[in-house]
Structure 1
């Protein structure tokens, strides 16, 4: 039973404490804590952790994403709502039975969101062990296979040339701009999940260089970028031999760069 149904749980008091600590959406956060905590003692600990500055999703142990509750452990990148647009774009071209790879998967949220709406062959990989363990919790019940891998390096060889949908929400914050991020990101998310190198495109270049060998002919690569980086990312993917377009949702400020492996290109044709 959640503490929201316990009369002695003083929701208004929690709201006041959260608001005093600077939580803009104190009412919503208090309600989520009340609905998640199993008892008042756990709720009190959760409130204290939130007031101390921990991200709400790490306090709750989950994040909401396209109507799903995605487990998110401490030390794992927190899914951003704007990234839902990347999933929307991927679903447009994801056929039943497609091979889907979530690269740099974090919690595995992208793969989980696609699998929630399509029957697919599901894989994910991350270099961070904490992320791998978290993604396993989210994806193994869906039949997904999660690997600890620096990008493609430790993936099953049998995936080469078979990937229809490559979801790569890789780091794209320029190194010298990490200090400008909100404290919740700077202090509680691994910098490896944020730091994209001097121009924010270092990891993307590594993904792009290998992507044509792993994508099936006609397979698609989806990456999220900032508005000013998207044209640069487009050039990176084009130099790798992919056909590229940029899709934008101005309302939520989301930009997705989509690279398609031309038919006849890739390991699968060798």
Structure 2
């Protein structure tokens, strides 16, 4: 126990066996932080960066509960829930946010909702989500590309390509738009044109020192198209650029082999290798 003579020492320095009284200032700061969305967001984002989605979800949810118009909190919470396998709750979070966020944030939230519905094998719902946004904002490139992806997943490749082409009239340099257009052309059966399109995009990315992620995405789609042609050697060459390690490469090649003609795989949009 601390005697009177040691009270000051207990406050100023750590003395073995000494426990000072709780600080009123500390308690007030904690209470203030618990009701401060910005402080909660900082904790959530730190947990996200450290690979702790369960903790991130707790703090994103608190921030979102305090302010349901906070698009970053909604997007962070939806991501953390999806990583943990709760896509349904993530979807509901984004639907709630979409009704409350500012107009300037609506495109980001709508795009995330539509993409999540596609990943959840609900492309028809995703088409409706994207169309509702485009009714208000007809020239939003992210929504047009999202609509195209959803329509491709519905096997409506002609409509998907129309969406991609409209996006490209607005933003001709869109890597995502050109990449998805190339894959859609392949899914519609014209693999030669698809290869030409994707090779051109790849060459431009390399020439312009583009992002490694963009290059990996293009390589993955090139591998898919080669596999659809039965060219597994070409698929293997492209797959090396898309895979992060030898284990991924082996898994992807097994997937590409299943796409080759005569393999018995069903036609239409393939699932991703990870699924």
TM-score, normalised via structure 2 length: 0.24
Q: Radius of gyration: which is bigger?
A: 2
**Structure with higher strand content:** 1
- Greater RCO structure (CA 8 Å; 6+ sep): 1
**Structure with higher helix content:** 2
TM-score, normalised via structure 1 length: 0.24
